[in-house]
């Protein structure tokens, strides 16, 4: 029986129709999401008046009185017209979390601002009061007085957030109010250099200046993050934006509403990432945990018996795979709580119980110093520490010169202070030389250095003789 042959153009057209239909059916319904939830998103316009010392400025330089032209130039500059400082203004975003007018935004949106005006979706405007703000999380709480209940957002469950999920950002980029942009979650638990207590959500949703403080929605219309930062070399969107997870934000909100400030747990250690070379030098089966490079004096860590060279692999029942995971976990615990902690010391696991204290305002943050890249084969010569440092109780030897050899492969630089070599404390150059002779060849050993007021472990590998 002969088969009917369909024209090629008809088959292609049907294929395109089916593909378009399938794509339309599977694509998220952002239209409904925006219609239902944008009324709870607000624009925030701020203004600050010039401070008294900024109101006038003649701009003349300081001229030494003993110069022959002092009187002439002083009179010249004093006759110049005064320059009046101008008011500063900016725009941001936020979202309403309660019908009585509580609003969440970024702390940097309202920092040092004298006037804050909140604009609703229906173009109604209200003056806003700052209830509290927290610079470490970049979260602020505002309050407006409305004559009727306001629309609110739904708060999402951060434990359900997964990489690859669709997200929608709504805000006022560059002042263009009620702008919606879509994307996906690119990463979770992202640590940024200036923020050690926030495990950011990374997305590729277009976020620009003015989006700050606005909500990041999932497809269920729930807020899962507060848009906070972008990574950009141009000042505008370049595919990387970061949001404060909603659980972190709401914890800060609750503390600001009830107590006016945020209390965080404090461990009192400086940590760094465990590289494959360091893992081998500490006899770990694989790179994991947070390596303690310094224990701060009079800290909970010192009281609990944590030592330099310990590797923290679990905190409060949660495994630590990368060092960046530890500070947010510590910060979320209320001061005074006793927390179990598992660490690896000399190849063996130990469990300690540590009572956290409140993070001081001026405390060193529990973060790592970046490991410098390898710069070829170098050696080194060391000298005794300066007398003033020895009198202060500082131990170790000062790296005077770096030349070709294993030291530079590890990242040691001239000016570093070597404190420990292969887990042995170093007191003077003679002891350092003796300890260096005993280093095993063919496998990395840990060396602890001090650099720029911080402590850092490096992996020193002595090559086997050929």
Q: Annotated active-site positions, please? A: 108, 138, 212
Three-state secondary-structure class, residue 142: strand
CA distance 21 to 381: 72
Angle, alpha carbons 274-277-279 (nearest 5°): 50
What would the DSSP string read from start to end of 150-205? Answer: PP-PEE--GGG--TT-EEEEEE-GGG-TTEEEEEEEEEEEEEETTEEEEEEEEE-S
Strand partners, 215: 226
Angle, alpha carbons 400-402-406 (nearest 5°): 130
Q: Which of 389, 177, 356, 386 is nearest to 269 (CA)?
A: 356
Tell me the pairing of strands 179-192 and 166-171. Answer: antiparallel
Q: Which of 32, 28, 35 is nearest to 151 (CA)?
A: 35
Q: Which of 261, 313, 264, 277 is nearest to 292 (CA)?
A: 313
What would the DSSP string read from start to end of 314-377? Answer: EETTEE-SSGGGHHHHHHHSPTT-EEEEEEEETTEEEEEEEE-EEPPTTPPPS-PPPPPPP-SS
- DSSP secondary-structure letter at 285? S
The first and second tokens of residue 189, run together, are 């638990």
Residues written for the chain = 466
**How many CA atoms lie within 13 Å of 352's alpha carbon, on the beta-carbon side?**
20
CA distance 459 to 429: 20
Give CB contacts under 8 A, 24+ apart, made by 294-299. 294/269, 294/270, 294/454, 294/455, 295/268, 295/269, 296/268, 296/269, 296/270, 296/363, 296/364, 298/268, 299/266, 299/267, 299/268, 299/269, 299/357
432 contacts 439 by C-beta, under 8 angstroms: no
213 contacts 252 by C-beta, under 8 angstroms: no
Which residues touch 77 (CB under 8 Å, ≥6 apart)?
58, 59, 60, 61
């Amino acid at each position: 029986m002969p088969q009917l042959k369909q024209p090629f153009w008809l088959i292609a057209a049907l294929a395109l129709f089916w593909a378009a239909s399938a794509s339309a059916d599977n694509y998220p319904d952002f239209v409904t999401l925006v219609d239902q939830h944008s009324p709870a998103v607000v624009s925030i316009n701020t203004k600050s008046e010039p401070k008294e010392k900024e109101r006038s400025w003649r701009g003349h330089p300081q001229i030494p009185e003993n110069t022959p032209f002092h009187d002439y130039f002083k009179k010249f500059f004093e006759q110049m017209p005064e320059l009046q400082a101008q008011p500063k203004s900016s725009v941001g975003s936020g979202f309403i979390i309660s019908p009585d007018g509580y609003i969440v935004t970024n702390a940097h949106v309202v920092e040092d601002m004298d006037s804050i005006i909140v604009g609703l979706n229906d173009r109604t405007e209200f003056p806003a009061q700052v209830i509290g703000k927290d610079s470490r999380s970049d979260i602020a709480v505002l309050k407006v007085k409305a004559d009727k209940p306001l629309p609110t957002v739904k708060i999402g469950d951060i434990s359900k957030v997964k990489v690859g999920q669709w997200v929608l950002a709504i805000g006022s980029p560059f002042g263009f109010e009620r702008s919606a942009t879509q994307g996906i979650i690119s990463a979770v638990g992202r640590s940024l250099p200036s923020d050690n207590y926030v495990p950011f959500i990374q997305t590729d949703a277009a976020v620009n200046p003015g989006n700050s403080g606005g909500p990041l929605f999932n497809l269920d219309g729930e807020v899962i993050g507060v848009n906070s930062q972008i990574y950009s070399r141009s000042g505008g969107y370049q595919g990387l934006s970061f949001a404060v997870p909603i659980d972190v934000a709401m914890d800060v909100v609750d503390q600001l509403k009830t107590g006016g400030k945020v209390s965080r747990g404090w461990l009192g250690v400086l940590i760094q990432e465990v590289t494959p070379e360091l893992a081998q030098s500490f006899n770990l089966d694989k790179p994991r945990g947070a390596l303690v490079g310094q224990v701060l004096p009079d800290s909970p860590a010192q009281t609990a018996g944590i030592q330099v060279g310990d590797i923290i692999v679990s905190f409060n029942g949660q495994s630590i795979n990368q060092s960046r995971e530890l500070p947010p976990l510590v910060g979320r615990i209320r001061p005074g709580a006793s927390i179990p902690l598992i660490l690896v010391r000399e190849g063996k696991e130990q469990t300690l119980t540590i009572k956290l204290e409140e993070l001081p305002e001026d405390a060193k943050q529990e973060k790592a110093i970046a490991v410098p890249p390898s710069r070829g084969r170098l050696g080194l010569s060391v000298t005794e520490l300066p007398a003033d440092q020895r009198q202060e109780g500082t131990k170790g030897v000062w790296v005077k010169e770096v030349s070709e050899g294993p030291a530079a492969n590890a990242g040691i630089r001239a000016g570093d202070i070597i404190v420990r070599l292969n887990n042995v404390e170093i007191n003077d150059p003679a002891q350092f030389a003796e300890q260096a002779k005993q280093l095993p060849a063919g496998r990395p050993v840990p060396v602890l250095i001090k650099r720029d007021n911080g402590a850092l472990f490096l992996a020193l590998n002595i090559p086997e003789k050929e």
